[in-house]
Structure 1
Amino acid sequence: MWTVLYIAPNQTTAKRIKDFMEAEGILVRLRPIGLHAEGSYTNFEILVTEAEIEEAQEVLNQALQVRQYREIREK
């Protein structure tokens, strides 16, 4: 069974997270949700298997911490 790990604000972010998770050996699916007026998707659910949810949460938390650190350094 697939479980929502995170909701990305756009397709680019969703793909980056998916690529990162897959590089760590975690199976990932993306599911678009919500539509703009022009018909493009607004948000994307990042789904992982129920068996990998805890590991996936740890990996995602690490990735988000690294991102925040980089943003702080760039300021």
Structure 2
Amino acid sequence: MWTVVYVAQNIEEAKKIEKVLAADGVLVRVRQIGKGKNGQGIFEVLVPKTEVEDAYLILTSITY
């Protein structure tokens, strides 16, 4: 079962999160869920349910 851990406002942000999680060994998927302004879209970043806690710890340590 895949679980959403982040919702990104554009593909660049989603890919950045995906890269960080994957670098730490977390399985990750990105899926478009809606269209935003200028065709950019809204994207979900998903991880397996068993890796949610690890993903959360990684995401909380990221500073933009």
Fold match (TM-score > 0.5): yes
Greater relative contact order, per chain length (Cα 8 Å cut-off, separation 6+): 2
Q: Which has the higher helix share?
A: 1
- Give the percent of matched residue pairs that are identical in Structure 1 and Structure 2: 41
Radius of gyration: which is bigger?
1
CA RMSD of aligned residues (A): 1.4
Q: Deviations over 1:41-66 (max 9, x none)?
A: 41100000000000100101101xx2
**Unpaired segments of 5 or more residues in structure 1?**
68-75
Match of 1:20 in 2: 20
Aligned residue number for residue 47 of structure 1: 46
Q: Unmatched 5+ residue regions in structure 2?
A: none
Distance 1:34 1:41 in 2: 9
TM-score (norm 1): 0.78
